[in-house]
Amino acid sequence: MTVHAGACHCGAMRVAFETAKSVSDIAVRACQCGFCRAHGACNISDGEGRVTIAVDAPYVFRYRFGLRTSDFLICRTCGVYAAAVIGEGVRLRSTVNVVGLGLAAFLDLEQAPAEYGDETTQARIARRFASWTPTTFTDGALAASYFGPH
């Protein structure tokens, strides 16, 4: 597996994206929702890869909007949107923002516009669990907070 590591602007939130795929085989998606466009976000995921998010719970703000199916993780210090996480317990998945995290290998790749506005809640959850990357947190308190409502 190749590890692509990045961090938010201040370095408080660090993300390691591990994949067996080549960079050119990973789609860089530019979601067209207002949140992603406001952040200039372009995201990647690999359903067979792994993401590790290293951040202490006090430094992350979890924002939910729209269908409220995922937490969009924003650094409380510098304001960078780093990743979106869905799931609970040990069954977490995420998509990571290559722009916010400065994942250099993906920054110059073509970005595919993505429209998800017509999805039902169930369809969105199913798509995310099928295509987003299995994820773990290094902070025990943050990981434990995904064992139930938050």
pLDDT tens string, the chain, 150 residues long: the values are 999 999 999 999 999 999 999 999 999 999 999 999 999 999 999 999 999 999 999 999 999 998 999 999 999 999 999 999 998 777 899 999 999 999 999 999 988 888 888 889 999 999 999 999 999 999 988 888 886 544
**Architecture of domain 2-143 in CATH?**
Beta Complex (2.170)
Domain positions in the chain are: 2-143
Q: Could you tell me what percentage of the chain is helix, strand and coil, using 3-state DSSP and rounding each to the nearest 5?
A: 25, 35, 40
Distance between CA atoms of 130 and 83, rounded to whole angstroms? 17
Q: Say which DSSP state 59 is in.
A: G
User: Which CA distances in Å does 97 have to 6, 39, 43, 149?
Assistant: 10, 9, 4, 25
Conformational region of residue 77, where left means phi above 0, alpha means psi within -120 to 50, and beta covers everything else: alpha
Residue with tokens 């937490």: 71
**In degrees, to the nearest 5, what angle opens at C-alpha 116 toward C-alphas 49 and 73?**
55
Provide the 3-class DSSP secondary structure of residue 135. Answer: strand
pLDDT of residue 150: 45
